[in-house]
Amino acid sequence: MSAERDLSRLLAGMSPELDPGRYVFTTVGPVPPGITPLVTVTEPEGLTLVLRQEDADRAALPYDYVAGWITLRVHSALDAVGLTAAVSRALAEAGLSCNVVAGYHHDHLFVEHERAEGALAVLRALSTRSAGSAD
């Protein structure tokens, strides 16, 4: 399956899926033993990890943001234009923050855990509207 670049098809087919877990962002020097982060980002200030909340708690890692993880199941091309903007705009209009991580095959959104179901509803509505306008 080749990666999609067309914005209308990306939005119509994004099939957002909410993971049932709770995820946190923390920063560390080296990754503590026994920790398997979902995402790592190297910054001058330290190594940012995104990991399951229970793993952070077990390792006594500090965090102040608990997120829900939504995966857009459409296979988006890394050079596709507009998907992140359209998704973040729709969520922002609903008063929802969003932290986006691009994987090779899919985009992953981290939204406030307590509002993750609402974010999922916003994304599904955006997808439905996009599918209708593509007809």
- Model confidence over 3-14: pLDDT tens digits? 999 999 999 999
What would the pLDDT profile of 83-109 be if each residue is shown by its tens digit?
A: 999 999 999 999 999 999 999 999 999
Q: How far apart are CA 125 and CA 113, in angstroms?
A: 19
Residue 76 β-bridge partners: 4
Q: What percent of the chain has pLDDT over 70?
A: 98
Q: Which two tokens stand for residue 124?
A: 């599904």
Q: Which residues fall within 8 angstroms of residue 91, CB to CB, at 6 or more apart?
A: 97, 98, 109, 111, 119, 122, 123
3-state secondary structure 15-74: CEEECCCCEEEEEECCCCCCCCCCEEEEECCEEEEEEEHHHHHHCCCCCCCEEEEEEECC
Q: H-helix or E-strand containing 12?
A: helix 7-12
Work out the pLDDT band at 2, boundaries 50, 70, 90. confident
pLDDT (tens digit per residue) in 51-69? 999 999 999 999 999 999 9
Report if residue 1 sits inside a domain.
Answer: no
Which contiguous run of DSSP H or E holds residue 13?
A: none
Q: Does residue 2 lie in a domain region?
A: no
Check whether 135 has a pLDDT greater than 90. no
Q: Per the domain annotation, does 74 fall within a domain?
A: yes
Q: What is the pLDDT of residue 132?
A: 83
116 lies in some domain? yes
Parent domain of 105 = 7-134
Whole-structure pTM value: 0.93
Helix (H) or strand (E) holding 99: strand 99-102
Residue entry with tokens 């929802």: 96
Domains in the chain, number: 1
CATH number for position 14: 3.30.2130.10
Residue 13 lies in a domain: yes
Q: Tell whether 71 is covered by a domain.
A: yes
